[in-house]
Structures are given as C-alpha cells and as structure tokens.
C-alpha cells in the first residue's frame, strides 16, 4: 500500500482569497465532463511539494521509475484529498449518469437498469507524484477506472500541474487529447500547456499523451475522482 504523505500539508484556512480566485474552463474536447482549472494551487504550494516530497529520503521505496516514461511516486493522504476537494468541487458535476458496474463489466443481467446516477464523493486518497526529465514522454493511452466496489469507483481523471511548461520551467511536455484513427495512429485534438497550480479533469478512456521533454523537468500529481451510488 502507498505510504501516507507526511512531507507537506495543504491548508485552506489561510488561502481564502486563492480559493476564491480559482477559474474553470469547460473544454470543448472531450465534449463532456472535461475541465481546466487555474490557480487551484499557489506557486508557493507547488514549490513546497517539489522541495519536500520528491526529495524524501525514502522516496525510492515507493517509486516506479521508467527510463522512457518518467518516475512515479505513489503516496496516500486523506488530508490532501479533502483539502483539494474543497477547492475544486464547486466546479464539478454533482452526479454522472452512467451504467451500473455490472454493465461496465459486460454483465448481461436483464434486470439491471441501463443507467443510474453516480454522486461525486471525493478525490481518491491515492496520489501519483510524477516527474518527467529530458527525453522522457508518456505515449498515447487511456486511463481506466479505479474500482473499490460495485457502488464506488472513479469515472474522471485529475492532473495537478506543479510547474510551468511553454519553455518557462521546461520545454515540451504538453498534454494532448488525441483521436485514435487507426492502430498507432492518432490526431491531436487539443493541447494543454502545463501551468503551475492548474488542474485538468477529463473522463477515463479518453486518448491522451504527454509529449517529449526537450529541456528541464516536468512535475505533476495524478489521481481520480471517485463516485458512489446507493
């Protein structure tokens, strides 16, 4: 299991003005449930994460490192989940209408309703802290659901950008939404240049990639938005 985060704390009580200043853009692609939020984290908070967690003495014990696709450090935090939820939940859909889990699992039970309402519950307590260095990228892929039970699972991915792209802190490393045209053939549909403190939310099973880092280092936090139904 991922280790509890102890290296830093995100506090909302002293960031009232920051939280008020958060803006949200509803993206045209993908068409539904995709958002780009700005100023969710302050520059100081982003730097706090970079200066603590990524250099933790025991970081390697919880790390997956791939020479082509970057470093991933898995950590767990109820506190971080709660504080980040408080900042972004007013911009999110309170419910999503989706098939029940048995249909998501290709169960053909005729007594199961075709769709049900799933209520937004929280940001997953499991976080991946990711670092891409020069020459690294993440190729075209889709994110799958994180399922806890038949009544509790994720539908949306969430990425917190910790530093600036666009040749400020790093060159390359853009996030791209893709349309899959054929095997190993994709058309870029929308490009997001990372901005420190911004957040990207989009549905699972949406094709996307992260382009090659040409210079510098890119840092992000990746998690999921969890939904429940009774």
Read off the pLDDT of residues 120-156 as tens digits, 9 standing for 90 and up: 999 999 999 999 999 999 999 999 999 999 999 999 9
Domains of the chain with CATH codes: 41-54+70-98+121-229 (2.60.120.620)
Compute the distance between CA of residue 100 and CA of residue 91 in angstroms, rounded to an integer: 24
pLDDT recorded at residue 113: 72
pLDDT recorded at residue 103: 61
**Separation of CA 113 from chain center:** 30
Mean pLDDT of 20-49: 96
Mean pLDDT of 6-23: 94
pLDDT at 178 over 90: yes
**Do residues 114 and 99 lie in contact, with contact meaning Cβ atoms separated by under 8 Å?**
yes
Q: What would the pLDDT profile of 89-131 be if each residue is shown by its tens digit?
A: 999 999 999 999 866 665 555 666 789 999 999 999 999 999 9
Q: Print the SS3 string covering the chain.
A: CCEECCCCCCCCCCCHHHHHCCEEEECCCCCCCCEEEECCCCHHHHHHHHHHHHHCCCHHHHEEEECCCEEEEEEECHHHHHHHHHHHHHHCCCEEEECCHHHHCCCCCCCCCCCEEEEEEEECCEEEEEEECCCCCEEEECCCCCEEECCEEEEEEEEEECCCCCCCCEEECCEEEEEEEECCEEEEEEEECCCCCCEEEEECCCCEEECCEEEECEEEEEEEEEEECC
pLDDT recorded at residue 130: 95
């Amino acid at each position: 299991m991922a280790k509890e985060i102890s290296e830093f704390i995100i506090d909302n009580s002293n960031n009232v003005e920051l939280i008020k200043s958060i803006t949200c853009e509803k993206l045209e692609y993908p068409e539904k449930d995709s958002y780009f939020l700005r100023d969710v984290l302050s520059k100081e908070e982003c730097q706090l994460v970079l200066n603590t967690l990524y250099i933790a003495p025991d970081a390697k014990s919880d790390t997956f490192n791939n020479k082509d696709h970057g470093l991933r450090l898995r950590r767990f935090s109820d506190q971080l989940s709660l504080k980040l939820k408080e900042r972004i939940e007013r911009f999110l859909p309170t419910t999503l209408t989706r098939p029940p889990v048995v249909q998501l699992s290709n169960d053909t039970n005729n007594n199961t309703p075709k769709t049900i309402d799933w209520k937004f519950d929280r940001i997953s307590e499991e976080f991946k802290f990711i670092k891409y260095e020069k020459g690294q990228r993440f190729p075209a892929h889709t994110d799958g659901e994180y399922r806890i039970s038949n009544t509790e699972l994720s539908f949306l991915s969430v990425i917190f950008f910790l530093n600036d792209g666009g040749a400020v802190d790093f060159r390359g490393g853009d996030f791209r939404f893709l349309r899959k045209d054929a095997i190993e053939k994709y058309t870029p549909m929308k490009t997001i240049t990372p901005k420190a403190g911004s957040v990207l939310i989009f549905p699972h099973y949406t094709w996307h990639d992260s382009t090659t880092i040409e210079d510098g280092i890119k840092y992000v936090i990746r998690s999921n938005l969890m939904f429940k139904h009774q």
